[in-house]
Each structure stands twice: as structure tokens, then as C-alpha cells.
Structure 1
């Protein structure tokens, strides 16, 4: 399984995914289409955005790979314009990274 974690990762969702055997590529903010392409978005199973202010990157990820599971895991508000594009939004204050990673890996297996 392959995942891209975009944005800062203060809750360490990337590390939690790696601990479960997921190959993780990281993309720094601001998230641009070329960076997603270099990270391998076309072949990714999972796209995790940790900076909700970068919400447009979900649209970029889905344009490059319509089948990628798009998850927002971070504080803040997601722009309404892309809310319908995201598959799942999780507030880190409600679920820790290890729990979210386990559920995502189980769901995508």
C-alpha cells in the first residue's frame, strides 16, 4: 500500500502508517500538482492532507488519481468548495494517529 502525506505532520500520521507497513511519501506545504506527481500520486492508494488550509490539494490529488482515498487529518476548517471531494475528515483531537492509520489500512486492505 502506498500513501502520500501532504503538509506538516505534527500528529505523526505518516509514522503511524509506516509502522503498519505502508510506503509513505511526504509532500511539504504548499502542495502543488507537480510535487504530488513526483511523490507518485498516480499510484497512491491514500492521500492524507494534514493542513486543511491546503484543501485544494485534495482536488489536485483526485484529478491525478480519481481512485485515491482522500483523508483530511488536521485542525482547522476545510474550504467548503472541496468538502464533497474528501472521502474522510478526522479531527486529531478526537482520534489519535495510530487509530486512524489502523482503520485506514484495514479499510484499504
Structure 2
């Protein structure tokens, strides 16, 4: 299982996913088409954004991989255009990274 994380991962979701057996790739910079393709979105199981500034990457990720599970793990609100495309939206203050990783 592969997971791609866009944004600063201050809560440690990437490490929690690795403990659950995921191979984690982190996108440095903006989550645009080129970055997603380089990170391997076409074969990823999960695409996580930890900062909603990367919300524009959500429709691109869905276009490149229709089956990828899109997870927003951020405390700020997701723009309206991206909400219907996200499979899971979680505020880190409500659910810790280990619980999210276990569910994924």
C-alpha cells in the first residue's frame, strides 16, 4: 500500500501510516500534477493533504487515479470545490494520527 502526503505533517500521520505498513512518499512544495505524478499517484492507495492550501491537488489526484482514497487531515476548512472529492475529512484535534492510520 502506498500513501502520498502533501503538506507539513506536524501530527505524524506519515509515521503512523508507515507503522501500519504503508510506503509513504512526501511531496515537497505544491501538490500539482507534476509532483503527484512524480510521487506515484497512479498507483497510490491514499492521498493525504495536511494543509488545505494543497486542495487544488485533490481533483488532479482523482483524475489521475480514480480509486485513490483522498484524506484531508487538517484543522482548517476545505474549499467547497474539493469537499465532494474527499473520502475522509478529519480534524487532527478530534482524531489522532494512529487512529486515522489504523482505519486506512
| TM-score category (smaller protein) | over 0.9
In structure 1, list runs of 5 or more residues that go unmatched.
105-109
Structure 1 segments, 4+ long, off by >6 Å, are none
The match for 2:100 is 100
TM-score in terms of structure 2 length:
0.96
The match for 2:84 is 84
In structure 2, what is the Cα distance between the partners aligned to 1:75 and 1:59?
A: 20
In structure 1, what is the Cα distance between the partners aligned to 2:8 and 2:45?
A: 20
Q: How many residues align?
A: 104
The match for 2:44 is 44
1:10-49 alignment runs, 5 A limit: 10-49=10-49
Specify the SS of the correspondent of 1:26: strand
In structure 1, what is the Cα distance between the partners aligned to 2:32 and 2:71?
A: 17
Shift of 1:53: 2.2
Q: Is the 8 A contact 1:29 1:54 kept in 2?
A: no
